[in-house]
Amino acid sequence: MKALKIYLFAALAVILMSCGGSSMNPVSEKIQGPLGDYFEVVDRDYKPNSGKVSIEIKRIKEGFPAPWMEGMEVGYYGGYFEPLFSVEYQDADGNVLGKDAADIVFEEDELKAIAALNVGESATITFDCYEKDVKKFKVSSTFEVHMESSDASSASGVEVIDADDLDVIDSNDLESTSDGTSSSSSSSSSSEDWDAVLDSYESYVDQYISFAKKAAKGDMSALAEYPSLMSKAQELSDKLNNAKSDLSASQAARYARISAKMVEAAASMN
């Protein structure tokens, strides 16, 4: 679920770290996850520049996994198919140094270009890279389908179905039930108060933005706030990563809005 894609650590690192300048190579041409049958990494040297690295992706098979069908446009809004790619950075010994993921909202043009490739053609996705001493990287993938929802409580009017849910249902199960919820998620339940978690997340983002503004102005007092921000980021990341399909459509939409606020603030610091 896109709502689970969290930028807490990467956003903080924008302020305090920059990617090492040495070249890196893919661990394998194989892309992990459901899009690995359709795309692969071009095996060559990659050189990070100004905290960014552009990784070349080549199409090796037409189309996308079901329930994608010919004519389904790649994008973010209702009825669209959303391919997602992430990268894991490693040192020379294979230890994980950090991760980043493309976002259909902020890297939409790049992801659309990837989707439009013919077999044998390639295009690049630009990822953030804040870690030093990166020597290797591994690319993973997933996807989501954004279905129009009749749920009146959904602020976005969109129901998000991710690849993990589609592992246990087929495309015939993607129709909404009479009460507007998907058949795959209507039985989902959780004891977690996700509204309270989102309240905490929004409070954290506001605190982060204040921190980022101080750091951008060279206010060294901001450094004193960094440890507590990292601790809070870990706590929220653990909770939101456990949310999976438990978030309602309206909660997912709220999460997306909060995350956009965070990422926009981080981008303005570059």
The model's pLDDT over 121-162, given as tens digits with 9 standing for 90+, comes to 999 999 988 888 899 999 999 887 765 544 444 444 445 555
Residue 32 falls in which region: left (phi positive, over 0), alpha (psi -120 to 50) or beta: beta
47/62 Cα distance (integer angstroms): 29
Residue 167 falls inside a structural domain: yes
State whether 59 and 94 are in the same domain. Answer: yes
pLDDT at 108: 79
Q: Do 30 and 121 sit in the same domain of this protein?
A: yes
Model pLDDT for residues 199-243, shown as the tens digit of each residue: 888 888 888 888 777 777 777 776 677 777 777 877 887 777 666
Residues 216, 140 share a domain: no
Regarding whether 168 and 38 lie in a shared domain, the answer is yes
- Tokens for 71? 């004519």
pLDDT band at 40 (very low <50, low <70, confident <90, very high): very high
Residue 128 phi/psi, 5° resolution? -75, 145
Same domain, 88 and 218: no
Q: How many domains does the chain have?
A: 2
Q: Which domain holds residue 224?
A: 194-268
Question: What does DSSP assign to residue 31?
Answer: P
Q: What is the per-residue pLDDT for 111?
A: 85
CA dihedral 268, 105, 49, 26 (to 10 degrees): 150
Q: How far apart are CA 248 and CA 165, in angstroms?
A: 14
What torsion, rounded to 10 degrees, do the Cα atoms 247, 252, 254, 260 define?
Answer: 140
Rounded Cα distance between 109 and 116, Å, is: 11
Which ranges constitute the DSSP H helices of the chain? Answer: 8-16, 108-115, 163-166, 194-216, 226-241, 249-268
- Residue 117 above 80 pLDDT? yes
* Confidence at residue 231, expressed as pLDDT on a 0 to 100 scale: 77
Q: Which residue has the higher pLDDT, 71 or 54?
A: 54
Report if residue 186 sits inside a domain: no
Shared domain for 26 and 71, answered yes or no, is: yes
